Structure 1
Amino acid sequence: MSFKVTVLPANREFTVEPGQTVLDAALAAGIVLPYSCRNGTCSTCAGQVLSGEYDAGPAPARILDAADLARGHTLLCQARPSSDLVIEAREVRMADDIVVRKMPVRVLSLEPLAPDVMEITLQLPSAEAFRFQPGQYLEFILKDGSRRSYSMACGQADEHRVRLHVRHMPGGLFTSRVFGVGAEPLKPREILRIEGPLGAFFLDPDDPRPIIFLASGTGFAPIRAMVEGMLARGDTRPATLYWGGRRPADLYQRALVSEWQSQLPGLHFVPVLSEAEPGDGWTGRTGWVHQAVMEDVPDLSGHQVYACGSPAMVEAARRDFVGQCGLSPEAFHADAFTSAADRVGAEA
């Protein structure tokens, strides 16, 4: 049977049909709650169940701490109601002209940005505009029905084209094709199928607080899209980009960030390496990228944070920024990059 879910504080209601999760039902009803991976490997969709019964599944116990679980916090992408529910979750406002749909795309080009990072440019159908919020992602639908998610690394679909930054995952079904490993390399002009735009990771235009952008590796892609969106709008909010990698090659578009700084005087850049070696000639910051933020801004109570990268980095930043630096939980916006291996681990 179906159940009613009421979302506070917006006091919005929707119905969950048999087999649906709370998140899927909300999205089907046009109510966008924060989400990223949709498979229980991050905590972006965490919300609090104030009343009602539900099956949480095993994922929340791996992701959320015991105190949050005891207060009724769960992952809405996994929760399946067994009664009517009242939940507390933030609603994300989506532009009215953004429509999620499936479509064919053509591979225009493959450009190496680093030894293990490829920029893919896709040609979208020209029949109608593909609109998205800078920071959102799309999913490739592979021949076997499996999916791979990548953020758009551009502020808009110029000339019906979008860019993606793809890191090679050794043994990865899709990324091995992208990097020409195996018998069926991905080539320009090949037709692929996608669905998008997806995700609730994009700038809040009405929040005047200074911005902390936090990226690790190719988590830079949606941050790049957000900054390009700021440039297009003339958004002058103060912002600091912390971009972390292991070695200098991981920060593959530092020159582009320097160009941004000449156009956005309020933008500051702090590159951080975790495994710099003497031969790298690195004179910048070292260590974990989220800890660099804490060193520079020990009081984050007046900031908003947009974090993207590995699940471990995103969850460490969420925990430490809120627990130690006074960041409001609603001011932490995140998109954790989860690989197919991450998803297998979450389901084990």
Structure 2
Amino acid sequence: MLKIYKSLESGPLKELNLKTLEKGAWINIVSPTPYELKVVSNLTEVEPDFLRSALDDEERSHIDVEDNSIMVLTNLPITRAPEAYDTLPLAIILTSEYIITVCLEDTHVISEFNQHTSSTFRTFKKTRFLLQILYKSATYYLRYLRQIDKLSDEIEIKLRESLQNREILRLLELQKGLTYFNASLRSNAAVLDKLMRIRLNHSVQGIIKVYEEDEDLLEDVIIENKQAREMGDMYSTILSRMADTFSSIMSNNLNLVMRFLTAVTIILAIPTAISGFFGMNVAIPFADNPLGFLYVSILAIFLAGCCAIFLWRRNMF
């Protein structure tokens, strides 16, 4: 899917196409076809590798600079399911005339920039638009991290009541999402650091023009990303320790059950042994006594009771 927009001076977005492409337009490409990539590359004179870089879902965040364009590849937070979190690469390419975004899927971050929010951004202010996308990505990281924190609290309460495999698997799913987030936030931080440096490079000032307002926005992006990293590290540590704690609890519960079953087995072994002894086809005590069965039963119960009391005092129950 390929959409082209340009902000009007009055605020609303003007939708364009490849034939009416204008300077200052935003070219948004989602899950592109090879034909779309080729056409956009020819029209904008952008390296085809720049356009294809976001099509590898394992690609890490980085910045590439060419003579006439800069490619900022960042990782966005996404949700695969209500409790399944992941990241997805987004390539933001700046040229002297256009800003291009390429992604494998339509994400919440890019969807935030639409006709309803068109008054908050301008496509022809490319550097500021780039920073606004990065800022929106950082805010979504924070939003999803808070969701993970709430879900982990809910899982902890349920695990305190009953240790079930379903809750343990939910916990592992959140841990996996946090691992993706932490890795992406670290690489995004490296991108922001490099962006801080190259903004002063004279060779790219024709593409990236940083004004005072943009400097403030860049600082806000760095602060938000740093906060998200700290939250991610903290929640990851909490979930890891929670998983270890409940694993220990499950092992301890299993040991208690095994100890109880062992004690019951020992107690039941006593009447079994006595009944086996008196059931032998040889001369035995009480063989001719009409109350012999009662005596044997009382003896078995008495010895089993003594064994049970002994084990109870040894905390086997």
TM-score (norm 2): 0.24
Larger Rg: 2
TM-score (norm 1): 0.23
Q: Write 1 or 2 for the structure with the bigger share of strand.
A: 1
